[in-house]
C-alpha cells in the first residue's frame, strides 16, 4: 500500500545491512535493524488504538529509539508531534491539549508530572528514557518486527510542529508528507547528498533543522548519521575527521572557531558545512574560510515552510545572504501594509510559495488566513531584499521574536509573566546581541509608583513557568518605556540602548 513518505525515506532501506546511525562510542545501527524497531513501535501505536491522522506527542531525549518513533508514526499514519525537551509540563499540556494528542511519550523522569496532563487530555502515557528503555520499549519488544504500512497520500499531515507566535498563543503548524518529501528531495539534490555521506549530527531532533533537514536528507540519500546526543565541542572535534558533512546553527560555528584545536586538518575530510536557523555573521563566514578553506553554505527556512532558499553548492556562497530560492519555491518581497510586490532591491516582507509551504495551523482558520494569502504565499515575518544578482538578504524581522542559539523565543510569553509580578507596572522583552548565542533575552521593567523591584526574586518567580532557554539573562529597571506617538513601545530603541550589554568591548 502506498505511503510516500515512509516508502521514500524508510521503506527503500528494508533489510539493508548498511549503517544508518553511528553513535559517539562507535556502535552502529543498521538501516534494517532500525526499521524492525520502528515496525514494532508502529505496532504498539496501533495497539494503543491510534488511527491514521491521530497525534503522538513526543518529548524524549535524542536517541536512535526516538528517531524510530518518528519512523513508526509515519508508517502507522500517525501525526508526529515532537516537543523540545526543555519545555515545562505546562507547555506540554498546552500542546497536547491543543493537538488532541492520543499518546504522549516522555522520559521516565517526567512521567509523574505528565501523568495528570495525559489524564486531562485523555491520552495514553508511555515512557522512553535517554537510553531508549522505558515502558514503550518494553511493550514493543514482544511485537512483530514487521508492520503492514498504512496508506497515506502526499496531502496527509505527517507532523505538527508548534510555534508560540507573537501573541504567545500556541499554533500547530501542519506539515504534510508532500511538504517534507518535496523539501528533502530538493535539498539532497542541491547539496549533492549520496549514500557515501556521513553527516555529523549534533542538532536536536525536535525541530525542522535536525529532523526534517539533516535526518530526512540522509535517509533519502541512504547515507549515515554520526549521531550525537547534543553539541559537545570535544566530541565534535574528535569525530569530524570521520564525517563528510555537518549542519548547524551559527553557535556551532562560533564555538568551533573559538577553539584552537579546530584546524584545516580537522575539517579536511568534510565536503560541506551548512548553517541556518539564525543569521550567520559575515565575519564568522570569513573566519571559517580562513581557518578551514571551506565556505559555509547558508540557507533559510522556517517551521511552516521547511527550507526556502539556499546559497549555491557550486558557485559563489555569498556571506551575509541566504542565497537563491530553491527549485520549485518562489520568493517575493512585499510592502507589509499593502501586500504589493516591491521593485527589485527594495526592503520588505519576505513571502514564500511552493510545495514546501505548510497546510495551515491546526484548527486555527483565522491565524492560517492571516499568514497564508489566498494565492498561496506565506507571510514569513522576516524582512529582506533581493540583490542585483538574485541573492536574498535577510535584514530583520517584522515579527517580535528572539533567536537564541537557534531556539525561537516570543517576548509576549515572558512579558505576560513579568507584568503579573507584584510591583511591575509593565515590561518589554527584547533580544540583544550575544557572542555565543547570537541573541539573548533581556527584560526591561517599569515599577509601579515607588515600588522597589527585587529582580532576583522576579527572575525566580517567572523561572518555574518558562523553559530554561527562555529565561531572561538580565532584568533592567527603567522609569518608563520609550513609545512612539501612537503609544507603541519602541523596542528598536531599547535594542539599540542595550546592544553592547553582552558583547566584549573593542580593544582600545
Task: Give the C-alpha separation, 461 to 484, whole Å.
Answer: 31
Position among 106, 249, 297, 357 found at the interface with ligand MCA (CB under 6 A): 249
Closest CB to ligand AMP among residues 170, 239: 170
Which listed option, ligand AMP, ligand MCA, none, makes contact with residue 178 (CB within 5 to 8 Å by class)? Answer: none
Position among 381, 384, 405, 431 found at the interface with ligand MCA (CB under 6 A): 405
At 411 the three-state DSSP class reads: helix
Choices 184-192, 232-240, 376-384, 429-437; region in contact with ligand AMP by CB under 6 A = 376-384
Which listed option, ligand MCA, ligand AMP, none, makes contact with residue 437 (CB within 5 to 8 Å by class)? Answer: ligand MCA
Q: Return the closest-CA partner of residue 24 out of 232, 245, 235.
A: 235
Instruction: Examine residue 6 and tell whether it contacts ligand AMP (CB under 6 A).
Output: no
Task: Give the C-alpha separation, 446 to 169, whole Å.
Answer: 24
Distance of CA 84 to the CA centre of its chain: 9
Position among 35, 302, 445, 453 found at the interface with ligand MCA (CB under 6 A): 302
Total residues in contact with ligand AMP, by rule CB under 6 A: 19
Closest CB to ligand MCA among residues 469, 498: 469
What separation in angstroms does the CA of 86 have from each of 90, 119, 180, 331, 466? 11, 21, 25, 33, 9
Residue showing cell 563528510: 244
What separation in angstroms does the CA of 62 have from each of 66, 134, 198, 233, 457? 6, 14, 18, 17, 34
Backbone angles phi, psi at 106, to 5 degrees: -140, 170
Instruction: Examine residue 198 and tell whether it contacts ligand AMP (CB under 6 A).
Output: no
State in angstroms the smallest separation of the CB of 221 from ligand MCA: 19
Asked if residue 457 lies in contact with residue 478, where contact means CB atoms within 8 angstroms, the answer is: no
DSSP state of 78: P
Task: Give the C-alpha separation, 208 to 155, whole Å.
Answer: 19
Choices 189-197, 200-208, 215-223, 494-502; region in contact with ligand MCA by CB under 6 A = 200-208
Position among 21, 170, 239, 394 found at the interface with ligand AMP (CB under 6 A): 394
Burial label for 2, CB within 10 Å (0-12, 13-18, 19+), is: exposed
Choices 14-22, 164-172, 317-325, 403-411; region in contact with ligand MCA by CB under 6 A = 403-411
Residue 222: how many CA atoms within 13 Å on its side-chain side?
14
State in angstroms the smallest separation of the CB of 406 from ligand MCA: 3
Helices (H), 105-158: 111-121, 135-141
Instruction: Examine residue 301 and tell whether it contacts ligand AMP (CB under 6 A).
Output: yes
Instruction: Examine residue 384 and tell whether it contacts ligand MCA (CB under 6 A).
Output: no
CA atoms 215, 286, 282, 473: torsion sign: positive
Position among 55, 152, 171, 209 found at the interface with ligand MCA (CB under 6 A): 209
Helices (H), 53-124: 64-76, 89-99, 111-121
Instruction: Examine residue 408 and tell whether it contacts ligand AMP (CB under 6 A).
Output: yes
Category of 138 on φ-ψ map: left (φ > 0), alpha (ψ -120 to 50) or beta: alpha
Position among 468, 486, 506, 507 found at the interface with ligand MCA (CB under 6 A): 468
Position among 276, 360, 443, 472 found at the interface with ligand MCA (CB under 6 A): 276
Instruction: Examine residue 459 and tell whether it contacts ligand AMP (CB under 6 A).
Output: no
Q: Are strands 224-227 and 198-201 parallel, antiparallel or unpaired?
A: parallel
Residue 381: how many CA atoms within 13 Å on its side-chain side?
15
Position among 231, 253, 262, 362 found at the interface with ligand MCA (CB under 6 A): 231
Rg (the chain; Cα; Å)? 23
Instruction: Examine residue 230 and tell whether it contacts ligand MCA (CB under 6 A).
Output: yes
Choices 10-18, 91-99, 361-369, 377-385; region in contact with ligand AMP by CB under 6 A = 377-385
Instruction: Examine residue 323 and tell whether it contacts ligand MCA (CB under 6 A).
Output: no
Three cell numbers, residue 102: 492520543
Instruction: Examine residue 204 and tell whether it contacts ligand AMP (CB under 6 A).
Output: no
CA atoms 140, 141, 143, 149: torsion sign: positive
Largest CA distance in the chain: 72
Choices 20-28, 150-158, 299-307, 344-352; region in contact with ligand MCA by CB under 6 A = 299-307
Instruction: Examine residue 127 and tell whether it contacts ligand AMP (CB under 6 A).
Output: no
Choices 48-56, 123-131, 151-159, 405-413; region in contact with ligand MCA by CB under 6 A = 405-413
Q: Return the closest-CA partner of residue 373 out of 324, 346, 325, 334.
A: 334
Instruction: Examine residue 82 and tell whether it contacts ligand MCA (CB under 6 A).
Output: no
Instruction: Examine residue 278 and tell whether it contacts ligand AMP (CB under 6 A).
Output: yes
Which residue has the closest beta carbon to ligand AMP?
Answer: 303
Instruction: Examine residue 382 and tell whether it contacts ligand AMP (CB under 6 A).
Output: yes
Which residue has the closest beta carbon to ligand MCA?
Answer: 405
DSSP state of 357: S
Which listed option, ligand AMP, ligand MCA, none, makes contact with residue 171 (CB within 5 to 8 Å by class)? Answer: none
Residue ranges in contact with ligand AMP by CB under 6 A: 163, 208, 276-279, 298, 300-303, 322, 380-382, 394, 397, 403, 408
Q: Write out the residues near ligand MCA by the rule CB under 6 A.
A: 86, 203-204, 207-210, 230-231, 249, 251, 276-277, 301-303, 404-407, 437, 468-469
Amino acid at each position: 500500500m502506498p505511503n510516500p513518505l515512509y516508502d521514500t525515506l524508510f521503506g527503500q532501506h528494508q533489510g539493508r545491512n548498511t549503517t544508518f546511525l553511528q553513535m559517539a562510542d562507535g556502535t552502529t545501527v543498521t538501516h534494517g535493524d532500525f526499521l524492525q524497531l520502528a515496525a514494532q513501535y508502529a505496532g504498539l501505536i496501533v495497539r494503543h488504538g491510534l488511527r491514521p491522522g491521530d497525534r503522538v506527542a513526543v518529548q524524549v531525549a535524542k536517541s536512535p529509539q526516538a528517531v524510530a518513533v518518528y519512523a513508526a508514526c509515519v508508517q502507522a499514519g500517525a501525526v508526529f508531534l515532537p516537543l523540545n525537551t526543555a519545555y515545562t509540563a505546562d507547555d506540554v499540556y498546552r500542546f497536547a491539549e491543543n493537538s488532541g494528542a492520543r499518546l504522549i511519550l516522555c522520559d521516565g523522569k517526567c512521567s509523574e508530572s505528565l501523568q495528570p496532563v495525559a489524564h486531562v487530555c485523555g491520552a495514553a502515557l508511555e515512557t522512553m528514557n535517554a537510553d531508549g528503555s522505558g515502558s514503550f520499549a518494553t511493550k514493543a519488544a514482544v511485537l512483530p518486527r514487521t508492520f503492514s504500512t498504512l496508506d497515506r497520500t502526499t496531502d496527509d499531515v505527517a507532523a505538527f510542529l508548534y510555534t508560540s507566535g507573537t501573541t504567545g498563543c500556541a499554533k500547530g503548524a501542519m506539515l504534510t508528507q508532500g511538504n517534507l518529501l518535496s523539501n528533502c528531495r530538493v535539498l539532497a539534490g542541491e547539496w549533492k547528498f549520496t549514500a557515501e555521506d556521513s553527516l555529523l549530527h549534533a542538532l536536536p531532533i525536535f525541530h525542522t533543522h535536525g529532523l526534517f533537514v539533516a535526518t530526512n536528507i540522509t535517509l533519502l540519500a541512504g547515507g549515515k548519521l554520526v549521531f550525537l546526543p547534543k553539541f559537545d565541542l570535544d566530541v565534535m572535534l574528535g569525530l569530524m575527521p570521520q564525517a563528510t558533512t555537518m549542519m548547524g546553527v551559527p553557535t556551532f560555528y562560533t564555538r568551533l572557531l573559538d577553539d584552537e584545536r579546530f584546524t584545516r586538518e580537522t575539517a579536511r575530510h568534510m565536503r560541506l558545512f551548512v548553517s541556518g536557523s539564525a543569521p550567520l555573521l559575515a565575519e564568522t563566514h570569513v573566519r571559517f574560510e580562513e581557518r578551514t578553506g571551506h565556505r559555509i553554505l547558508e540557507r533559510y527556512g522556517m517551521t511552516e515552510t521547511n527550507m526556502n532558499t539556499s546559497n549555491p553548492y557550486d558557485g559563489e556562497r555569498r556571506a551575509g545572504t541566504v542565497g537563491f530560492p530553491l527549485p520549485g519555491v518562489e520568493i517575493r518581497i512585499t510592502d507589509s501594509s499593502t501586500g504589493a510586490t516591491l521593485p527589485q532591491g527594495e526592503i520588505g516582507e519576505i513571502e514564500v510559495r511552493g510545495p514546501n509551504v505548510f497546510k495551515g495551523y491546526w484548527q486555527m482558520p483565522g491565524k492560517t488566513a492571516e499568514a497564508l494569502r489566498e494565492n498561496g504565499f506565506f507571510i514569513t515575518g522576516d524582512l529582506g531584499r533581493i540583490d542585483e544578482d538574485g541573492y536574498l538578504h535577510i535584514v530583520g524581522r517584522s515579527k517580535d521574536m528572539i533567536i537564541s542559539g537557534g531556539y525561537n523565543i516570543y517576548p509576549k510569553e515572558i512579558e505576560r509573566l513579568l507584568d503579573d509580578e507584584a510591583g511591575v507596572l509593565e515590561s518589554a522583552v527584547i533580544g540583544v546581541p550575544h557572542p555565543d548565542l547570537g541573541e539573548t533575552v533581556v527584560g526591561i521593567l517599569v515599577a509601579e509608583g515607588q515600588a522597589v523591584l527585587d529582580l532576583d526574586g522576579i527572575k525566580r518567580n517567572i523561572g518555574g513557568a518558562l523553559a530554561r532557554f527562555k529565561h531572561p539573562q538580565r532584568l533592567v529597571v527603567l522609569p518608563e518605556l520609550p513609545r512612539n506617538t501612537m503609544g507603541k513601545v519602541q523596542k528598536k530603541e531599547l535594542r539599540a540602548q542595550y546592544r553592547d550589554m553582552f558583547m566584549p568591548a573593542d580593544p582600545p
